[in-house]
Amino acid sequence: MSTITRFAPSPTGRLHVGNIRTALHNWLLARKAGGRFLLRIDDTDAARSREEYVEAIRADLAWLGFAPDAEYRQSERLAKYKAAFEALKAAGRVYPAYETAQELELKRKIQLGRGLPPIYDRASLKLSEEERGAKEAEGIAPHWRFKLDHYEPIRWDDGVRGPQKFDAAQLSDPVIRRADGSWLYMLPSAVDDLDMGVTDVLRGEDHVSNTAVQIQMFTALIAAQYAAAQKPRFAHEALLVGKEGKLSKRLGSLGCDAFREQGYEPMAIVSLLGRLGTSQPVEAFADPAPLIDTFDLSTFGRAPAKFDEVELARLNAHIVHQLPFEAVKGFVPEDFTPEAWHAIRPNLEKASEVIEWWQVVTGPVPALDFSDEDRAYLREAAGKLEWSGTPWQNLTGALKQTTGRKGKELFLPLRRALTGMDHGPDMKELLPLIGEEEARARLERAAA
């Protein structure tokens, strides 16, 4: 059976770094197996869902390089959820419940006060037909819960966490449909996974208890409606934390829009998140193929995965140093050449910085203060500038012979006069870009 994974965000906001990591790992898992990666927009909450966020999710995945093989909208599949609900209802696996939110909260507080787990007590399941009728006659519309089977423990072999076991009696029967008829997450997700043939569900460890509930839901749906379907495999990865080791609010605000604004390359983000939380080394990849080839759930650890922007910046610099000239042609001046890119690229942390370095080439450069001795040295340099062959090597070679200078004393005044900076690209590549006339003018200006 072909591997099919899915990413199912709610369009109630922008994707953040944790969402991106989940989507990426599902894409890598599918690509490693030669399978398919689905995008499923969980937009059943009409009040909070926004079309602008749907568009942003698509754009972000495309920018990162792992656009889905197919896309689905849960809002277009409501009839399927209704049919599954009716099938489960006929099988006795869903039941109406009449407690208000305030009544449920009071029950939870009482249970916690007695040192008991805050599990729903199934009070509505014990109501007679007459009692239910009376409540509805009062205008109380029920919400609907899935009835868990308490007789068998829930088990699965988790792709990251290993063998898992839950006592269903220690879980609340989940609400699957609100009193207004709208759907909560659990049932639509299970129906979609079966209907779309999803074989692997890879998500955060905060969904472990949801999986325990959904495993019973899968079993019930297969028995009631999806006889030919199979439950997917499950894997739950550790959540992201900040580098300080605690959950960080900042991680919830870091998304593709922030990364783009800060000038990060998509493959730097993919390189970091692809292996974050695994035993494999985090490396800078200009192409996702090595990440796909080496993706392995057995390398995922149980400890929280630490996201570090310093590490992201390091990877980004390595990625930029591998970028071809074509990657920057869209935002550099027309007179910017492949030779200029080759000269400037090793000094960049972000590709956008190329504009600042090109300004060093085209000028003007800031006027710096020099000692009388260095001004005399620069005046001599202006006179010895020879443009045939290799101008920088010619100039420094001649000055070394006539002045006896070497090392920093030889090179730094020249660099400062020619670029207005103490550091930068290799001068043997940069000087030809500046040009003979401009180079001589800068030397003479610094010597004045």
- pLDDT for the residue numbered 47: 87
Confidence of residue 331 (pLDDT cuts 50, 70, 90): confident
Among residues of the chain, what percentage have pLDDT more than 70? Answer: 99
Three-state DSSP at 202 gives strand
Query: For 320-349, what is the mean pLDDT?
Result: 91
Q: Are 86 and 178 in contact (CB under 8 A)?
A: no
Six-digit token pair at 245? 């080791």
Give the model confidence (pLDDT) of 407-439 as tens digits: 999 999 999 999 999 999 999 999 999 999 999
With cut-offs at 50, 70 and 90, classify the pLDDT of residue 246: low
Beta-bridge mates of residue 235: 202
Runs of H (alpha helix) within 91-242: 101-113, 129-137, 186-195, 208-224
Question: What span, in angstroms and rounded, lies between the C-alpha atoms of 432 and 156?
Answer: 66
Query: Which residue in this structure is represented by tokens 């072909």?
Result: 2
Q: How many CB atoms sit inside 10 A of residue 437's CB?
A: 10
Return d(Cα 339, Cα 343) in angstroms, integer.
6
- pLDDT band at residue 244 under the 50/70/90 scheme: confident
How far is Cα 376 from Cα 287, in angstroms, rounded to an integer? 51
Residue 306, annotated as binding a ligand: no
Which pLDDT tens digit goes with each residue over 254-269? 889 999 999 999 999 9
The answer, yes or no, to whether residue 247 has pLDDT greater than 70, is no
Report the DSSP pairing between strands 70-73 and 94-97.
unpaired
What angle is formed at CA 256 by the lines to CA 333 and CA 296, rounded to 5 degrees? 115
Mean pLDDT of 156-160: 97
Average pLDDT, the chain: 94
pLDDT for position 340: 92
388 Cα distance to chain centroid: 51
- Section 7-17 average pLDDT: 93
Examine the pLDDT at 248 and tell me if it is beyond 80.
no
pLDDT band at 1 (very low <50, low <70, confident <90, very high): low
Q: How far is it, in rounded angstroms, from Cα 57 to Cα 75?
A: 16
- Nearest Cα to Cα of residue 309 among 246, 277, 262: 262
CA nearest neighbour of 81 among 199, 215, 194 = 194
Q: Concatenated DSSP letters for 213-248?
A: HHHHHHHHHHHHT-TT--PPEEEEEPPEEETTSS--
DSSP string for 397-413? HHHHHHH---HHHHHHH
DSSP helix/strand/coil, 391: helix
What's the pTM? 0.89
Average pLDDT over residues 221-232: 93
Residues constituting the chain: 448
Question: pLDDT band at 291, cuts 50/70/90?
Answer: very high
- The pLDDT value recorded for residue 35 is 97
Q: Which residues of 248-275 are buried (b: 16+ CB within 10 A; e: fewer)?
A: beebeebbbeebeeebbbbbbbbbbbbb
Q: Which of 352, 439, 360 is nearest to 394 (CA)?
A: 439
What the chain holds in terms of domains, given with CATH numbers, is: 372-447 (1.10.10.350)
Burial zone of 229 (CB within 10 Å; 0-12 exposed, 13-18 middle, 19+ buried): middle
| Mode of pairing for the β-strands spanning 240-242 and 305-307 | parallel
Q: What is the pLDDT of residues 36-78, one digit of tens each?
A: 999 999 999 888 999 999 999 999 999 999 999 999 999 999 9
